[in-house]
Amino acid sequence: MPKRILFIHHSTGGNLIKEGHLREEVKSLDPDLEFWDHSYNLAPKLTMLLARHTHLKGLSDAEGNITRTDYNIILSNNSPREYAEIFARDKDDQTLSAILKFDVIAFKNCYPTTRISTKKQLQDDINYFDSIRESAKKYPDKKFVLVTPPPAKELTTNEENSARALELVNYLTSQDYLQDTRNLAVFNFFGLLANKKGYLKPEYERFIPWDSHPNKKANQDIAPIFAKLLVELTK
């Protein structure tokens, strides 16, 4: 049976797949791998025609086809609290057991995660990510990839929030976080997108002032790097 990758994401991850051609990048590196992805749960009343042009797709298969199902992954902007809760469930839980059918499980938070307004929120996020790390250790035959949240555009946040976001990302990419962990990797999406102040780089901004989704250039630049890591983890 071919090895399978699952990428759990929302709109920013969907743009990596669509604009960055992430699925194709994985296939070009290893044609035998299957890259599946899970976006927002499929809206029951949404026609398939509309679903193809939104991020309400649920589960898509190795060919990018919408499977008309989902794993009931309930995430509000992919918050670390919700990931921590999902991965801490019993392995027989319907959602977690479906996720664990894959060999490599990549998951990401969206840019609102980097608008960290208080020290307490920062510590809470650190605790949630610590919980995710400990949960991953229970499944040594699986590989997990924590994708750091992308930075917000300067116009939509502030210096204090971005400084705390940098602190969070520095922790997630440190040896302190990855201590005694052999099956968890961190892909520093934030680091590839952010300037020194922790804001989205101007060359990666979209034209709409309040939109912090990285643009097509960002997705095309980063998708090959991400694909390489995913493929390496299947070896």
Mapped to the 3 state alphabet, what secondary structure does the chain carry? CCCEEEEECCHHHHHHHHCCCHHHHHHHHCCCCEEEEECCCCCCCCCHHHHCCCCCCCEECCCCCECCCCCCCCCCCCCHHHHHHHHCCCCCCHHHHHHCCCCEEEEECCHHHHCCCCHHHHHHHHHHHHHHHHHHCCCCCCEEEEECCCCCCHHHCCHHHHHHHHHHHHHHCCCCCCCCCCCEEEECHHHHHECCCCCECHHHCCCCCCCCCCCHHHHHHHHHHHHHHHHHCCC
Among 196, 177, 108, smallest CA distance to 148 is for 108
Q: For position 49, what pLDDT does the model report?
A: 60
Domain assignment present for residue 154? The answer is yes
CA distances from 187 to 117, 145, 156, 221 (A): 24, 7, 24, 14
Domain assignment present for residue 44? The answer is no
pLDDT < 50 regions, the chain: none
Domain assignment present for residue 42? The answer is no
Domain assignment present for residue 86? The answer is yes
Domain that holds residue 176: 21-34+73-232
The CATH number of residue 88's host domain is 3.40.50.1110
Among 196, 184, 200, 145, smallest CA distance to 26 is for 145
Check the CA dihedral 70-72-99-222 and report its sign. positive
Domain assignment present for residue 156? The answer is yes
Q: For position 44, what pLDDT does the model report?
A: 63
Domain assignment present for residue 41? The answer is no
Domain assignment present for residue 53? The answer is no
Segment 39-62, tens digit of pLDDT: 877 766 655 666 666 666 789 999
Give the total number of structural domains in the chain.
Answer: 1
Q: What is the pTM of this model?
A: 0.93
Residues 6+ apart with CB under 8 A from 92: none
Domain assignment present for residue 97? The answer is yes
Give the count of alpha carbons within 13 A of 65, CB side only: 5
Q: How many residues does the chain have?
A: 235
